[in-house]
Amino acid sequence: MNIFLFLFFIIWLGGWWINIKISKFNDPNLPRFIVPSLFGMVILLMWELAVIGLQINPILLPAPSAIALKFSRSLDILWIDFVQTLIKGALSGYILGCGAAFLTAIAIDKFNFLKRGLLPLGNFISALPIVGMAPIFVMWFGFDWQSKCAIVVVMVYFPMLVNCVQGLELIDPNRQDLMRTYSASYTQTLIKLRLPSALPFIFNGLKICSTLALIGAIVAEFFGSPIKGMGFRISSEVGRFALDMVWAEIFVAAIAGCLFYGLIAIIEKRTTFWHPSQQK
Amino acid sequence: MISVSDVNLTFETNDGPVNALRSVSLEVNEGDFVSFIGPSGCGKTTLLRVIAALETPTDGKVIVNNMTPDEARKAREYGYVFQAAGLYPWRTVSGNIKLPLEIMGYSASEKEDRTRKVIDLVELKGFEKKFPWQLSGGMQQRASIARALAFDANILLMDEPFGALDEIVRDRLNGELLNLWGRTDKTICFVTHSIPEAVFLSTKIVVMSPRPGRITDVIESPLPKNRDLNIRDSQEFIKIAQRVREGLKAGQTEDVF
């Protein structure tokens, strides 16, 4: 048996052993990041050793070290792609789509007859297949990030709308009556009661949409884009069998997605600390 | 102060109309402490909500401070304390007390002054920065009363504010409420289903009975305005409590027909 495969099993068993130790140790003072980072390190090491030991073709699965090397050497390209796809395409579409959905939800809440018309329409839009819409939007809005932004808007609009409408519908009759006894105006009730109580739902929508926006912006580039962007890079590098670059792009997308989701989760914790779901 | 004459209220439900109030008439004078007592379904909460313009009677006339109830609501003539404290969990105790002041457009310094004053009044000093879910039920209800006292309404409508509290806390809060009433000259309408609570607090006890909700007896209490919990052992107190009990019983027997 070759040395790499031997090491592979050593690392596997070693990781297992440490895991058992930690679970028995059960110290609440142990930093929370230790367990997941240990897990990640073991996986990466096993991956590396398996690829070398079994001499796996780098087109099928490049070693993590190869991906890291490619990543560090292509920082400039990755940065250009990141800005093009995630900042210009995904983020702008996310803000526009979620913002529009939020405003629509408030309009629906204010004028009940809109609900029967707009909710099914939103549902219809969300059911449109992205592979059909993307080429059409490229025709309409051009090859650059604007068409990707439009795709993201279409993708995030409905989930955000449904969550916001649901949150605004959630009325505690007591608290509503209280506002009535103060003879509070519609706007005062909305700002001081309805929106704060809808916040947990609004954040649910924002979290779901954060991943949708990411996926939408990348996939949309498969249907026409300038010669930059993460989706463009992935599809063209696959054509050149440069799978290490594809993995590097995936790595960027994963990191950016986690950070963005985490950022929203932190804001959520800060603003909905009072909700039972945030209390332990 | 508050005058209710010949008020009927019928709710349309899926099981047909429900007669929540039938020919209810009542006078509440300035500075009165009026209790509405009766079994559930007798319309005592509905009557309070009619006075607060949270329900509209089917017919009859209600006058609050020489206005219709809805005008009185818009003029912020009353403070309402609900059975559930109903504090906003995203606001601190003082934030909750400031809520009506914010809505009514008080200046920042006045908000501070009034909040401090009512927090002292309900003895919640030191808890201003706490969130409602960090407080006991009794403290939450105190904060809720403080919120209703923060603005200058001379009527206080209270819907079983101590209904969910244990007897020890309830006795204490009853004493404090009387004390507060004595110091502020407010007119209080108080819904309860506890006979001792009604007799202990009130200058006027309104006994109600269900199906249809109506008033069966109105008792003017001869007890002095300044009283403490010991008064509950006095002859007079027991006599009034007896009369309330009989009123409640009479309402029940009529129920057969």
Percent of chain A past pLDDT 90, that is, above it, reads 60
Q: Which sign, positive or negative, has the C-alpha torsion A135, A137, A141, A144?
A: negative
CB-based contact A180 B84, cutoff 8 Å: no
Q: How confident is the model at residue A267 (pLDDT cuts 50, 70, 90)?
A: very high
**Burial classification of residue A19, based on how many CB atoms lie within 10 Å of its CB (0-12 exposed, 13-18 middle, 19 or more buried):** middle
Fill in the amino acid letter for A257.
G
Separation in Å, CA of A170 to nearest CA in chain B = 14
Q: Is A71 helix (H, G, I), strand (E, B) or coil?
A: helix
Q: How confident is residue A280, by pLDDT bands cut at 50, 70 and 90?
A: low
Query: What pLDDT is recorded for position B209?
Result: 87
Quick one: pLDDT at residue A1?
Answer: 63
Identify the pLDDT of residue B253.
Answer: 56
Residue of A nearest to B81 (CA): A178
Residue of B nearest to A190 (CA): B103
Structure tokens that stand for A177 in this block: 């009556």
- Separation between Cα atoms, residue B134 and residue A10, nearest integer Å: 51
Which tokens hold the place of B18?
């429900």
Handedness of CA B74, B159, A109, B12 (dihedral sign): negative
Residues 6+ apart with CB under 8 A from B216: B207, B208, B209, B247, B248, B250, B251
Q: To the nearest whole angstrom, how far is the Cα of B81 from the nearest Cα of chain A?
A: 9
pLDDT the model gives residue A48: 92
Q: What would the mean pLDDT of A200-220 be, rounded to a whole number?
A: 93
pLDDT over threshold 80, residue A31: no
Q: Is B202 within 8 Å of B31 (Cβ atoms)?
A: no
Q: Which long-range contacts does B118-125 make (Cβ < 8 Å, 24+ apart)?
A: B118/B146, B118/B147, B118/B149, B118/B150, B119/B93, B119/B94, B119/B146, B121/B146, B121/B149, B121/B180, B121/B183, B121/B184, B122/B146, B122/B149, B122/B176, B122/B180, B123/B176, B124/B93
Q: How far apart are CA B26 and CA B247, in angstroms?
A: 16
Question: Strand B33-37 to strand B187-192: parallel, antiparallel, or no bridges (unpaired)?
Answer: parallel
Q: How far apart are the first and last CA of chain B?
A: 36
Can you tell me the distance from the alpha carbon of B225 to that of B11, in angstroms, rounded to the nearest whole number? 38
Write out residues in chain B with pLDDT < 70, as ranges: 252-257
Please indicate whether, in this complex, the C-beta atoms of A183 and B102 are within 8 angstroms of each other.
no
Strands B78-81, B59-64: pairing kind: unpaired
* pLDDT given for residue B256 in this prediction: 46
Instruction: State the smallest CA–CA distance between residue B100 and chain A in angstroms.
Output: 6
pLDDT at A151: 93
Q: What does pTM read for this prediction? A: 0.83
**CATH number listed for the domain at residues A72-278:** 1.10.3720.10
Q: Which of A182, A196, A273 sits opposite B76 (nearest CB)?
A: A182
What's the confidence (pLDDT) of residue A126?
Answer: 81
Judged on CB neighbours under 10 Å (0-12, 13-18, 19+), B220 is exposed
The pLDDT of residue A119: 83
